[in-house]
């Protein structure tokens, strides 16, 4: 009785003692690979512009959290497969199974570790990766002389569920100002109630303050009256300046909260929002990747008896590539409206989760 209680803990500690060194080594290896792929894509540009080595190193350091995020699922898959493959090649798994412990029981600490990584990955992605990635993109662009402006021209924005429509010739993001502004107010049926024209407008923190204004208001009998103002404000003219910015923002640079606000704005403005909504679902779905890859590799690792290192590395790359390609296809379908955004984000996880379940049921145990 006492022996059977202690036995699982012995196996679990042994499994973790083998797994952790492989995992740390794989994390370093795959992180460096991802880092080099990104660096070699722009290195010739840095060299052509005589960018200092320390500046290039800063770009590399800013990109390292993103590389860690990409490398984590592949490293977990490789480390799990290699650990179990090594045990199988040395016939140690046979001893584990003969002691009365199943494969599920033996890999339980790895599955728990996968769940912990899944939870931590979500917060790490939202609070660390996105911030460092934004800084890396901005710094890299500044080194290459590729400054991006959020100012916009010839824009139209629908706000207040269609009750207020803005039309402006130009939005200046630096001064938070609009020029050549025309605002139409409508009723629930879409009929115009008023039209306000202004030479310029400035954001005062709560709403838009219009200058050199002509305002046209429709009376109950359908006649229009005109009034002129030097300055004019209205509580309904409170659409945030971010709404008027050029939509060049990359969804990959937005946090989950920012994506939610962005989706709400796109819906409110009547613009396509499927891509942004799919990206928001993807943030939650991708955080479960560490758990899924450990689940798959637990069933996969015990199948290799020869060339364990090579086969573990090959299987890890194949499974990871298959997952990312599947996710790329489903996300593309979601962005184009072929499938719902939620399905595009969660389908790869469901497919590979089902694959892992089937493989696990037929694994040696």
Over the stretch 22-38, which tens digit does the pLDDT of each residue have? Answer: 899 999 999 999 999 99
Domain region containing 228 = 152-244
- Show Cβ contacts of residue 225 under 8 Å, excluding neighbours closer than 6 positions: 216, 217, 219
- The answer to whether residue 167 is domain-embedded is yes
Number of domains within the chain: 2
Using a cut of 0.95, tell me whether the model's pTM lies above it.
no
Judgement on whether residues 288 and 349 belong to the same structural domain of the protein: yes
What DSSP designation does 198 have?
Answer: E
User: How many CA atoms are closer than 13 Å to the CA of 19, on its beta-carbon side?
Assistant: 24
- The answer to whether residue 261 is domain-embedded is no
Judgement on whether residues 209 and 102 belong to the same structural domain of the protein: no
Judgement on whether residues 17 and 125 belong to the same structural domain of the protein: yes
Over the stretch 34-80, which tens digit does the pLDDT of each residue have? Answer: 999 999 988 888 888 888 999 999 999 999 999 999 899 888 888 88
Judgement on whether residues 9 and 97 belong to the same structural domain of the protein: yes
- The answer to whether residue 191 is domain-embedded is yes
Judgement on whether residues 184 and 60 belong to the same structural domain of the protein: no
Judgement on whether residues 339 and 313 belong to the same structural domain of the protein: yes
pLDDT at residue 305 in the model: 61
- Cβ 170 vs Cβ 151: under 8 Å: yes
Query: What proportion of the chain, given as a percentage, has pLDDT over 70?
Result: 89
Dist. CA 111–CA 133, nearest whole Å: 29
Sheet hosting strand 192-203, strand order edge to edge: 152-159, 164-172, 177-186, 192-203, 208-218, 224-232
């Amino acid at each position: 009785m006492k022996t059977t209680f202690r036995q699982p803990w012995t196996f679990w500690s042994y499994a973790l003692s083998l797994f952790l060194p492989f995992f740390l080594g794989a994390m370093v290896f795959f992180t460096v690979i991802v880092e080099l792929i990104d660096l070699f894509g722009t290195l010739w540009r840095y060299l052509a512009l005589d960018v200092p080595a320390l500046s290039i190193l800063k770009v590399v350091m800013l990109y390292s959290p993103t590389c860690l995020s990409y490398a984590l699922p592949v490293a977990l898959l490789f480390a799990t497969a290699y650990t179990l493959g090594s045990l199988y090649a040395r016939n140690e798994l046979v001893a584990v199974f003969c002691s009365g412990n199943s494969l599920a029981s033996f890999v339980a600490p790895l599955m728990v570790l996968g769940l912990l990584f899944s939870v931590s990955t979500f917060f790490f992605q939202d609070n660390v990766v996105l911030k460092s990635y934004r800084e890396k993109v901005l710094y890299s662009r500044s080194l290459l002389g590729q400054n991006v402006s959020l100012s916009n021209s010839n824009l139209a924005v629908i706000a207040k569920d269609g009750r207020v429509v803005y039309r402006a010739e130009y939005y200046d993001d630096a001064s938070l100002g609009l020029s050549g502004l025309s605002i139409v107010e409508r009723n629930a049926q879409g009929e115009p109630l008023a039209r306000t024209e202004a030479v310029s407008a400035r954001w005062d923190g709560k709403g838009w303050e219009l200058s050199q204004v002509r305002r046209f208001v429709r009376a109950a009998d359908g006649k229009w009256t005109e009034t002129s103002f030097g300055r004019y404000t209205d509580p309904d003219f409170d659409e945030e300046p971010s709404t008027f910015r050029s939509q060049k923002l990359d969804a990959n640079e937005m946090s989950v909260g920012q994506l939610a606000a962005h989706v709400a704005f796109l819906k409110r403005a009547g613009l396509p929002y499927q891509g942004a909504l799919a990206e928001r679902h993807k943030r939650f779905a991708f955080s479960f990747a560490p758990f899924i890859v450990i689940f798959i590799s637990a069933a996969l690792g015990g199948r290799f008896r020869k060339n364990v290192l090579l086969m573990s590395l090959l299987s890890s790359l194949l499974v990871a590539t298959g997952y990312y390609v599947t996710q790329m296809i489903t996300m593309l379908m979601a962005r184009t409206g072929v499938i719902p955004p939620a399905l595009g984000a969660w389908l790869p996880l469901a497919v590979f989760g089902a694959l892992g379940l089937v493989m696990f049921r037929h694994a040696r145990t």
